[in-house]
C-alpha cells in the first residue's frame, strides 16, 4: 500500500514538472510503466526511444522511479537496454549509488 501511495504522489506531483529531451509524453509513459509494472509497454518504449538516458530539465532520470518502486524487473530491463548507471542526478548521486543504497538485494545484484 505504501508503494502505491508513493507512486501516486510521484505521478501526481513530480512527473508533471518534467520537460525532457524525450517528448514529455514518452517520458511520462515510461514513468507510468515503471510505476504500474507494465514491462511489455516499457520495453516497446525503450526500443523506440532515441536516448534511454534522457533526463528531465531538473536532472531526474526515469530510472530513478525503479528505486522508489523497487521494481526489479524494470531495473533489469533498463540495464539490458543500456541505461547509464553512472549518470549523476541533480543531487550528485549516480544511479548506481542509488541502487546500492536500497535494501533490495535483488536490485543491488544487477550491478555487482
**pLDDT by residue, tens only, the chain of 112 residues:** 666 556 555 554 454 444 344 556 777 888 899 999 999 999 999 998 878 887 766 677 888 888 888 899 999 999 999 999 898 887 888 888 888 888 889 888 887 7
**At what angle are helices 72-80 and 39-48 packed, to 10 degrees?**
20
CB 105 within 8 A of CB 111: no
Tell me the C-alpha to C-alpha distance, in Å, between residue 51 and each of 37, 41, 103.
21, 17, 29
Structural domains of the chain in order of their starting residue, each with its CATH number: 2-109 (1.25.40.20)
> What's the pLDDT at 77?
94
> What's the pLDDT at 1?
62
| Predicted model pTM | 0.73
**DSSP 3-state assignment of 2?**
helix
Sole residue written with cell 509494472: 37
Taking CB atoms within 8 Å and a gap of at least 24, the contacts of 22-26 are 22/49, 22/50, 22/51, 22/54
> What's the pLDDT at 33?
92
- Going by the DSSP 8-state scheme, the letter that residue 13 receives in this structure is I
CB 102 within 8 A of CB 108: yes
> What's the pLDDT at 44?
94
Amino acid at each position: 500500500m505504501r508503494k502505491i501511495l508513493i507512486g501516486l504522489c510521484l505521478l501526481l506531483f513530480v512527473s508533471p514538472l518534467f520537460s525532457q529531451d524525450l517528448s514529455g509524453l514518452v517520458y511520462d509513459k515510461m514513468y507510468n510503466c515503471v510505476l504500474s509494472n507494465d514491462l511489455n509497454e516499457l520495453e516497446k518504449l525503450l526500443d523506440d526511444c532515441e536516448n534511454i538516458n534522457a533526463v528531465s530539465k531538473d536532472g531526474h532520470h526515469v530510472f530513478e522511479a525503479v528505486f522508489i518502486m523497487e521494481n526489479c524487473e524494470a531495473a533489469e530491463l533498463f540495464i539490458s537496454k543500456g541505461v547509464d548507471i553512472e549518470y549523476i542526478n541533480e543531487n550528485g548521486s549516480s544511479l548506481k549509488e542509488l541502487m546500492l543504497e536500497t535494501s533490495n538485494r535483488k536490485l543491488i545484484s544487477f550491478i555487482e
